């Protein structure tokens, strides 16, 4: 894991990182979390595309997890509260992770330099920074050329999809006792490819084991006292 502070230092890493990359993006997609695939156009992270995650660090890290596990380098820019413990708990390979917690006013230049070096860049632009169409278009061209992916924690032009948590419920605590063990969320996704339609999916974020997984419907098959089957009922959770 590398923690970098300046764009020139990041450029110095590019050669080393390129030599260590194991994965090639021949099909122009990156390995994708099975829990989130249905919320992405084409069912995968598209190499050369950008995505927006509204407010949820856990959701954003889930997008990075599978590329990282497959051997791709990832970078996190402008998120000083994200430590290596949280990154490791999210399943990221710390040996292939670059952290730039305080990029300063040159954050966009830092992101641009990282796109040349790593497969996935997660960035939280400083408030109230707003990326214009022209710089976003230049970066999009670089993303396509390098077959990299950008995940932004705030609004970003030309995003392939925008994911946000619409509902959230914690499980595990009783009336004044117990511990929060798992959280069910509804993740909503919008994409220009869906012509204004929204897709949503109910997920554990995290489940009791700390992983992200779909909330699976359980089918109850109870029987009457005389042995006849009662009508089957689906329940979630």
User: Which CATH number goes with the domain that contains 89?
Assistant: 3.40.50.300
Helix (H, G, I), strand (E, B) or coil at 76: strand
In a domain, 236, yes or no: no
pLDDT value of residue 181 = 67
Q: Please indicate, yes or no, whether residues 118 and 168 belong to a single structural domain of this protein.
A: no
In a domain, 231, yes or no: no
Q: Please indicate, yes or no, whether residues 196 and 96 belong to a single structural domain of this protein.
A: no
For residues 55 and 124, what is the distance between their CA atoms, to the nearest angstrom? Answer: 10
Q: Please indicate, yes or no, whether residues 191 and 175 belong to a single structural domain of this protein.
A: yes
State both tokens at 31: 């390995």
In a domain, 33, yes or no: yes
Q: Please indicate, yes or no, whether residues 97 and 118 belong to a single structural domain of this protein.
A: yes
> Residue 144 in contact with residue 48, Cβ under 8 Å?
yes
pLDDT value of residue 26 = 41
In a domain, 226, yes or no: no
Q: Please indicate, yes or no, whether residues 36 and 137 belong to a single structural domain of this protein.
A: yes
Q: Please indicate, yes or no, whether residues 68 and 114 belong to a single structural domain of this protein.
A: yes
pLDDT value of residue 196 = 87
User: For the segment 186-229, what is each residue's pLDDT rounded down to a tens digit?
Assistant: 999 999 999 989 999 999 998 888 889 999 865 545 555 555 55
Cα end-to-end span (Å), the chain: 37
In a domain, 235, yes or no: no
pLDDT value of residue 128 = 83
User: Going by C-beta distance under 8 Å and a sequence separation of 6 or more, which residues neighbour residue 59?
Assistant: 36, 53, 163, 165, 187, 205
Q: Please indicate, yes or no, whether residues 157 and 167 belong to a single structural domain of this protein.
A: no
Q: Please indicate, yes or no, whether residues 42 and 121 belong to a single structural domain of this protein.
A: yes
Residues of the chain with pLDDT under 70: 1-8, 10-27, 172-181, 217-237
φ, ψ of residue 41 to 5 degrees: the values are -55, 130
Q: Please indicate, yes or no, whether residues 167 and 156 belong to a single structural domain of this protein.
A: no
If one counts the domains in the chain, the total is 2
Confidence (pTM):
0.79
In a domain, 13, yes or no: yes
For the chain, how many residues are written?
237
In a domain, 66, yes or no: yes
For residues 13 and 105, what is the distance between their CA atoms, to the nearest angstrom? Answer: 21
Residue written as tokens 């954050």?
107
In a domain, 227, yes or no: no
Q: Please indicate, yes or no, whether residues 135 and 151 belong to a single structural domain of this protein.
A: yes
pLDDT value of residue 223 = 53
Domain of 206 in residue numbering reads as: 162-220
Alpha helices for 70-115 (secondary structure H): 84-89, 107-115
Q: Please indicate, yes or no, whether residues 199 and 166 belong to a single structural domain of this protein.
A: yes
> Residue 115 in contact with residue 148, Cβ under 8 Å?
yes
pLDDT value of residue 22 = 41
Q: Please indicate, yes or no, whether residues 166 and 156 belong to a single structural domain of this protein.
A: no
pLDDT value of residue 235 = 40
């Amino acid at each position: 894991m590398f923690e970098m502070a300046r764009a020139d230092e990041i450029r110095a890493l590019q050669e080393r990182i390129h030599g260590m990359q194991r994965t090639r993006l021949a099909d122009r997609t990156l390995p994708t979390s099975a829990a989130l695939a249905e919320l992405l156009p084409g069912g995968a992270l598209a190499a050369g595309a950008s995505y927006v995650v509204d407010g949820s660090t856990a959701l954003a890290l889930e997008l990075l997890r599978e590329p990282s596990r497959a051997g791709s380098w990832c970078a996190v820019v402008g998120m000083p509260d994200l430590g290596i413990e949280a990154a490791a708990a999210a399943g990221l390979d710390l040996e292939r992770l670059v952290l730039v917690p305080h990029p300063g006013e040159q954050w966009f230049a830092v992101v641009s330099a990282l796109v040349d070096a790593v497969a996935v860049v997660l960035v939280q632009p400083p408030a109230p920074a707003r990326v214009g169409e022209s710089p976003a278009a230049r970066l999009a061209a670089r993303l396509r050329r390098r077959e990299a992916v950008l995940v932004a924690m705030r609004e970003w032009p030309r995003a392939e999809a925008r994911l946000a948590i619409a509902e959230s419920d914690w499980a595990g605590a009783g009336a004044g006792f117990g511990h929060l063990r798992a959280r069910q969320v509804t993740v909503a996704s919008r994409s220009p490819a869906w012509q204004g339609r929204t897709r949503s999916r109910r997920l554990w974020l995290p489940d009791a084991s700390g992983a992200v997984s779909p909330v699976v419907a359980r089918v109850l098959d109870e029987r009457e006292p005389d042995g006849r089957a009662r009508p089957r009922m689906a329940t979630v959770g």
